Amino acid sequence: MSRRALTLLLAGFLVLALGVTGASRPVPYVVLSPGPTENTIGEVDKKPVISINGRQTYPTSGALSLVTVAYQGGPAAQIDLLTALRGWVDPTVAVVPQETIFAPDRTVKQVEQENTVEMSNSQDSATAAALNELKIAYTTVVTVVSTEPKMPANGKLMKDDEIVAVDGTPAKNVDVVGDTVKAHKPGESVRFTVKRAGKELDVTVPTTKGTEGQTLVGVSMQGRFKFPFDVDINVGDVGGPSAGLMFSLGIVDKLTPGEITGGKRIAGTGTINPAGEVGPIGGIAQKMVGAQDSGATVFLTPADNCAEAVKAVPDGLRLVRADTLHDAVLALDALRTGKGNIPACEAG
């Protein structure tokens, strides 16, 4: 072999070795792909996704499926360059910077815990929205989440205390409690009426001045709903708030005669608040692919995601815009009966 040929061979080998080494190096990106779907009026692991006890329920058919996005990568298990390159050429997945999913000051465990909390809150909001849609009354209670060390409330108010009133004013929500405390001058005392371990008692808590001059007692509170019957939602290992709309629709379907799907396979996504307003979500392109893979023919889409969804909708999947839970119910009625308006997504 000539020296020239040997040099070319060695150079080629070096380029190949460097390419292989580079392709296997971790990169700070995350691959998003279509995740599993769950039928909210179906079962997971032989258990109903939505169980309602203490209220009459009705048969359902078809599917009202929530959709998810799976991710690969993250601070604890970064993907390599080759995996990222494969994702960039695959139209069904997205490759995004790692900090898009995992903020620099958040660990993978913290993100997963936050997703779990968001899912729990989403289920409560979805139940409240469904009951509002059906005009079923429920109440809201304010509970103690925690108290700050070395602050007046520490040792006086306890975790899970239900705050009934403050200075005799009914605690209708967190804002009422906070405003009543702030109405005091620092150093004055506030009388909390709380329910603790089934008993109602008054707790007097002195106030202090905060760093910005505001009146504080040092308590974190959360508004919780008290529903007139039990609604239990079981989705397995799924986190985040984006299934709210589909939970609400599943609850409405189970609590009303007739089948709002008309036997169709409906999928959708969107956050929801107790007023029934549908909010935007991430990963819409991947969620539509997951919906199509599950056999859905209709996809309920938050209004703020419509412009993006129109550009990436798979063939055979009909996009229906959902501004509110009520709008989604009316759209499903129109799909089932062939009468009424069915709002469509439009390009921005």
What single-letter amino acid sits at 31?
A: V
Contact assessment for residue 237 and residue 59, using Cβ atoms and an 8 Å cutoff: no
Q: Is position 287 annotated as part of the catalytic site? A: yes
Compute, in degrees rounded to 10, the torsion defined by CA atoms 152, 157, 158, 160: -130
**What does the alpha-carbon distance between residue 92 and residue 235 come to, in Å, rounded to a whole number?**
24
CA 226 to CA 139: how far, in whole Å? Answer: 5
Helix (H) or strand (E) holding 312: helix 306-312
CA dihedral (319, 324, 327, 331) in degrees, to 10, reads 30
CA dihedral 128, 132, 134, 137 (to 10 degrees): 80
Q: Which of 122, 125, 242, 248 is catalytic?
A: 242
Please give the C-alpha separations between residue 298 and each of 34, 147, 328, in angstroms, as whole numbers. 17, 47, 12
d(CA 122, CA 235): 12
Q: How far apart are CA 319 and CA 150, in angstroms?
A: 54
* Residue of 156, 254, 264, 287 marked active site: 287
Active site residues: 242, 287
